[in-house]
Amino acid sequence: MTALKEKRISIVGVPMNLGADRLGVDLGPVAIRYAGVKGRLERLGYDFEDRGDIQVVRPENARDAKSNLKYLDEVVRVNTELCNSVADIMSEGRFPLVLGGDHSIAIGTIAGVLQHKKNLGVIWFDAHGDINTAETSPSGNIHGMPVAVALGLGHERLIGIGGAENKLNPKNIVLIGSRDLDSGERKLLKELGVTVFTMHEVDLIGMPKVMEEAIRVASDGTDGVHVSFDMDAMDPFYATGTGTRVAGGLSYRESHLALELIAQAGIMTSAEFVEVNPLIDNKNETAETAVALMDSLLGGWLL
């Protein structure tokens, strides 16, 4: 089974931990490469291209006097470069697969896709809502803000990446696996009408029903769907090497089934896998799991 019409994939790594302010996730791209992503995707018949990593520089000070957001200047610079890289990949008719890095890199990925797909849906696998702004964030960590930024909410410099006019419609965003939401996030998600499948819904109705509805919502009237998979969506038993672990997450098979169903739907424009932290992993198992999930998302099938 092939998930993409054009069997050409370009990966780009973003070794950034500044959005999470936690060492280790910057090693995610190299860990995923070491886990064999190239061979896995070539076995699926894809023309595979590795465009290397975007350079990330860690500033001496986390905050400046103008903002309570950590490492704002560098996060903006890196995501602007990523936006341009993703847009270039899509200009060449290739599928962008972004390797994180913390989840703040989704700001640049989505901004880049929006240069080509003006009506974009998003399926967002994550234990967290990632829809904080500077006003609601308890930490000032930008990896908790990419959904808000993609909707046009938050700091003007983050919103401006890729153009303030290029933003998502909340009716086409679906969050899956949520189980740790800040109070400001809960309020905003309800106000905007974002579709959220918490672990309660996953347990209650099962992953097939969740994905049937998620695919319907994300693809309704859109030009395609971006898939963003944070490894902390999974239960820590299956993904030890991720930075913000929350018990009670998706199982290994639930995660694969969800991505297999997206592949079968044939709706994808782009994807990213983030928050792999080999410093706290067991023999690179979480990176290997990420590669296996990519296989399922991109059309790997047993028979």
Which residue among the candidates 260, 272, 275, 281 is catalytic per the annotation?
275
281 as an active site residue: the answer is no
User: Which one from 26, 232, 272, 295 is the annotated catalytic residue?
Assistant: 232
- Active-site residue (options: 53, 103, 180, 295): 103
Q: Point out the catalytic residue in the list 130, 180, 260, 295.
A: 130
Q: How far apart are CA 214 and CA 200, in angstroms?
A: 15
Contacts of 290 (CB under 8 A, 6+ apart): 32, 35, 229, 231, 273, 276
| Residue 220 annotated among the catalytic residues of the structure | no
26, 180, 230, 295: which one is catalytic? 230
| Identified catalytic residue from 26, 128, 226, 235 | 128
Residue 232 is among the residues annotated as catalytic for this protein: yes
Name the active-site residue from 143, 155, 226, 256: 143
Compute the Cα dihedral for 137, 140, 142, 144 and give only its sign.
Answer: negative
Catalytic site includes residue 260 = no
Please give the DSSP secondary-structure letter assigned to residue 273: E
* DSSP type of residue 102: S
128: annotated active-site residue: yes
Edge-to-edge order in the sheet of strand 120-125: 47-53, 8-14, 95-100, 268-274, 224-230, 120-125, 173-178, 195-198
Specify whether 226 is catalytic: no
Choose the catalytic residue: 53, 126, 235, 281: 126
Handedness of CA 58, 64, 69, 72 (dihedral sign): negative
Residues 265 and 215: beta-carbon distance below 8 Å: yes
Active site residue ranges: 103, 126, 128, 130, 143, 230, 232, 275
